Amino acid sequence: MKSFQKEINRRRTFGIISHPDAGKTTLTEKLLLFGGAIQEAGAVKSNKIKKGATSDFMEIERQRGISVATSVLAFNYKDNKINILDTPGHKDFAEDTFRTLTAVDSVIVVIDVAKGVEEQTEKLVEVCRMRNIPMIVFINKLDREGKDAFELLDEIEQKLNLTVTPLSYPIGMGYDFKGIYNIWEKNVNLFTGDPRKDIEDTIEVSDLNTEELDELIGSEAADNLREELELAQGVYPEFNKAAYLKGDLQPVFFGSALNNFGVRELLDCFINIAPAPRPKESDTREVKPEEDKFTGFVFKIHANMDPKHRDRLAFVKIVSGKFERNKAYLHVRNNKNLKFSSPNAFFAERKEIVDVSYPGDIVGLHDTGNFKIGDTLTEGESLNYRGIPSFSPEHFRYINNADPMKSKQLDKGIDQLMDEGVAQLFKLEMNNRKVIGTVGALQFEVIQYRLEHEYGAKCTYENLNVYKATWVEPEDEKSEEFKDFKRVKAKFLAKDKRGQLVFLADSQFSLQMTQQKYPSIKFHFTSEF
């Protein structure tokens, strides 16, 4: 096989999604330990917002610092190059996570055995389900008392709307946790509760009916296991790789990340079944990773980490071809050729300048303000990757300039923060007033703080009663209906950063009434339709 194809085949680019506290950081760390990318536990910093620290500005800075350090964590394992893309679990940063999900080829969903399916898990899984992203579920904290395995599998099917099939099965739980039976590999792994062990001893049990199993875990537990597995076989479909890859079937593993238990099973199955970089739709055609011409897109931007340099790092996912240092690439939106002399590749907690990167990889490009989230780079072809929509924000405020001497700085700051995707800016049609819309309330503090510290500008906010922003698509721009809509709703109309018309509904009721009154106009909840 050609070496380029080999490089593609060995790559696995994925994200771990979970509700905060389910164990994403701990699991990430154990995966890196397997890859030899870190030496000890505690090396991966949590990107969690500490409770009660939401108005602490140091916390915001700490967050951003960590966010850069953990944006991409790459390591090698059994000849695979694995790229983990960081996805913040905090709901106020959900948009960041949604965007990162456009750059992954698969995900692992972590669920707490006691808490089951939580709110953020539901939202994030829904996005993955809509995009048919292959998902593996890891049920964590089996060393603690939690819900019964069947109950959990049921809950996952019901609440997350998935079709699951267990590939490992717990033997006991909490105080009585004895280990797991690996359905995928047909062996038993006994739980010793020793987190320092990074290699587990597994015992082959090719036939569940052997007495060996009774000797290993006791007759009662062995009988229970036999019974439950038989039941599971009756209820859940057999694992099928093609169905998993299509997003139609989700295998489930059980374990305890903190004890590094069940993680090896997960990882070994993952490298086996998880997809290598996949083809991606663009506005003109589907692009395959093995094409020899480079294409990629920006899914994340990080600015001003160093206050002395106005530096920005644009994170580019490589979709096809090789990305080479010092080669000129076309920035499609600006129709401009750009060269990058020091593209960064990411390893666990370390950045390095690299000469060549392959599909599936992420490169960090130093940027002086050319990039916006969603921008496409190619070797000359004019195509654009879609699929990074803006979602309807949930919080809205007017933003006012609090220092008239600094209005230029304010405008520039707002512009750049919007490019980074911190929030969305809308301009009211009526009076050109600026409205900031965010997914979480925390973003307003982030914006105010960063405007002051990075741009020397001051802003104040004013409340604005908006329930939802919806993107407006008329069937016919010239119709009387659309003209009437624009006249009657003039007070509630704004333009987004791309100049698209947005209707800011002040209540659910008024949105419904408007939808009914103007049936030929579509009201979309995301900017891409």
Interface with ligand G4P (CB under 6 A): 18, 20-26, 46, 48, 89, 140-141, 143-144, 256-259
Q: Is 96 annotated as a binding residue?
A: no
Q: Which lies closer to ligand G4P via its Cβ, residue 198 or residue 281?
A: 198
For residue 49, what is the DSSP state?
Answer: P
Least separation, in Å, of the C-beta of 29 and ligand G4P? 8
- CB-based contacts of 179, cutoff 8 Å, min separation 6: 170, 171, 172, 188, 189, 190, 191, 217
The per-residue DSSP string of 108-159 comes to: EEEEETTTBS-HHHHHHHHHHHHTT--EEEEEE-TTS----HHHHHHHHHHH
Q: Which is nearer to ligand G4P, 22 or 269 (CB)?
A: 22
Listing DSSP states for 221-286 in one string gives HHHHHHHHHHHHHHHSPPP-HHHHHHTS-EEEEE-BTTTTBSHHHHHHHHHHHSPPS--EEBSS-E
The distance of closest approach from Cβ of residue 121 to ligand G4P in the complex, given in angstroms and rounded to an integer, is 10
For the CB of residue 226, give the shortest distance to ligand G4P in the complex, in Å.
26
Chain-centre distance of CA 354, in angstroms? 25
User: Residue 370, by phi and psi: left (phi above 0), alpha (psi -120 to 50) or beta?
Assistant: alpha
Give the length of the chain.
Answer: 529
C-beta of 169 vs 239, nearer to ligand G4P? 169
Q: Is 288 labelled a binding residue?
A: no
Q: Is 90 annotated as a binding residue?
A: yes
CA distance 480 to 317: 45
Find the shortest distance in angstroms from Cβ 116 to ligand G4P. Answer: 14
Residue 87 among known ligand-binding residues? yes
The response to whether 24 counts as a known ligand-binding position is: yes
Is 25 annotated to bind ligand? Answer: yes
**Closer residue to ligand G4P (CB): 20 or 134:** 20
Strands 336-339 and 164-166: unpaired
Query: Contact, 427 vs 486, CB < 8 A?
Result: no
To ligand G4P, the closest distance from the beta carbon of 221 in angstroms equals 20
Calculate helix-pair angle for 442-455, 407-420, nearest 10 degrees: 130
Strands 286-287 and 202-204: what pairing?
A: unpaired
Query: Per the annotation, does 341 bind a ligand?
Result: no
The verdict on whether residue 142 carries a ligand-binding annotation is yes
Nearest distance in Å: CB 26, ligand G4P? 3
CA dist., res. 482 & res. 234, Å (int): 56
Pairing relation of β-strands 468-474 and 521-524?
antiparallel
Q: Which is nearer to ligand G4P, 89 or 247 (CB)?
A: 89
Q: How far is the CB of 111 from ligand G4P (least distance, A)?
A: 10
Reduced to 3 states, what is the DSSP secondary structure of residue 525?
Answer: coil
**Closest CB 215 distance from ligand G4P, rounded Å:** 27
Phi/psi at 13 (5° precision): -115, 115
- Please return the burial class of 3, using the count of CB atoms within 10 Å of its CB with bins 0-12, 13-18 and 19+: exposed
- In angstroms, what is the minimal distance from the CB of 160 to ligand G4P? 17
Nearer to ligand G4P, 22 or 301 (CB): 22
Tell which residue, 453, 461, 467, 457, has the closest CA to residue 511.
467
21 among annotated binding-site residues? yes
23 is in an annotated binding site: yes
Q: Which is nearer to ligand G4P, 143 or 375 (CB)?
A: 143
Concatenated DSSP letters for 305-348?
SSTTTT-EEEEEEEEES-EETT-EEEETTTTEEEE-SS-EEEET
The answer to whether 368 is a known ligand-binding residue is no
For the CB of residue 480, give the shortest distance to ligand G4P in the complex, in Å: 53
Query: How many angstroms separate the CA atoms of 18 and 110, rounded?
Result: 5
Is 360 annotated in a binding site? The answer is: no
Cα distance between residue 246 and residue 253, in whole Å: 19
141 is in an annotated binding site: yes
Residue pair 26/258 in contact by the 8 Å Cβ criterion? yes
Between 112 and 454, CB nearer to ligand G4P? 112
Nearer to ligand G4P, 30 or 317 (CB): 30
Q: Which is nearer to ligand G4P, 41 or 216 (CB)?
A: 41
Q: Please say which residue, 143 or 228, places its beta carbon nearer to ligand G4P.
A: 143
Is 86 known as a binding-site position?
yes
With contact defined as beta carbons under 8 Å apart, do 322 and 365 qualify?
A: no
- The answer to whether 346 touches 304, Cβ cutoff 8 Å, is no
| Shortest CB 487 distance to ligand G4P, Å | 50
Phi, psi of 196 (to 5 degrees): -80, -20
Binding residues for GTP: 18-25, 86-90, 140-143
Q: Which residues belong to the annotated binding site?
A: 18-25, 86-90, 140-143
